[in-house]
Amino acid sequence: MRTLIPTVIVEDEEPSRNRLRRLLGKWGAEIEIIGEAADGPEAIKIISDLRPELIFLDIELPGVDGLTVLEKIPYQPAVIFTTAYHKYALDAFKAIAIDYLLKPIEEELLKKALVKLKKVGYRQAPIADKLNFLTFSSQVSFHNKIPCKVGDRIDLIDPEKILIFQADNKYTVVKTIDREYVIDTPLFEIERKINPTMFVRIHRSTIVNIEWIADIHKWLDGRLKIHLRDANKTELIASRSYTSKLIDW
């Protein structure tokens, strides 16, 4: 039996919000709308309180915009952006969106976005799921090599050699035992392609290889300090939102 996907709609225009709600009603066997918000601050509160697994998020919002909403919430849900402007498309994909829909939303394009969500799978809120993938398929595979472009060539990196993945503006830094690579794959996409028994997210901007952790210590404000066993004895800080992952591990 499939589990309904708890979903929140964030849209400041009532006609657009009503239209999206009506279209999603046709997916009632898979989508459960648990909340709605009409501005940025309200969205932050509702998303933080209800912990939906999927958000339909307008980019242009009163108060704070959709991208800022994502920065302010304490975890990372799956996101499908809605916008009236093509110029936001690139930012949407760089900011972990599953897809983006131009308004007025067309039923066929909404269907394609939800089918894409099924295909790529999605992660529950990190605090709640403790590294469990929720997908619409019983078969989940992870990348055995991580492609990193260097000039005109692509190096295929063994995951075992990777210490951390770290977000850097629109890019991701891949730090291995002997060098660093900069790739344009967002951290959200990397997270769903790597083995969660090998890697753990410790911060909105950082994923660490569990095998390279030397020790973990309590730190300030409920956070944790992590030492890696590389030559540089790298220190990392796990934010409060992600400490449960390390404690449970």
Instruction: Give residue 9's pLDDT band: very low, low, confident or very high (50, 70, 90).
Output: very high
Q: Are 2 and 133 in contact (CB under 8 A)?
A: no
Q: Which two tokens stand for residue 15?
A: 């006609």
pLDDT of residue 180: 94
Judge if the upstream peptide bond of residue 104 is cis by omega within 30 degrees of 0. yes
| CA–CA gap between residue 126 and residue 116 (Å, rounded) | 21
Q: Which domains are seen in the chain, by residue range? A: 5-134 (3.40.50.2300), 146-248 (2.40.50.1020)
Average pLDDT, the chain: 82
Q: Are 10 and 79 in contact (CB under 8 A)?
A: no
Q: Which two tokens stand for residue 53?
A: 């697994």
pLDDT of residue 126: 38
Q: What's the rounded mean pLDDT across residues 10-25?
A: 95
Q: What's the rounded mean pLDDT across residues 118-124?
A: 59
pLDDT of residue 122: 56
Out of 96-105, 170-179, 196-205, least confident range: 96-105
Query: Is the pLDDT higher at 145 or at 225?
Result: 225
Does the pLDDT at position 92 exceed 50? yes
Among residues 56, 58, 55, 94, which one has the least CA distance to residue 76?
55
Q: What is the pLDDT of residues 131-153, one digit of tens each?
A: 233 233 333 445 678 888 888 78
Q: Which helix (H) or strand (E) holds 168?
A: strand 162-168
| CA–CA gap between residue 130 and residue 124 (Å, rounded) | 9
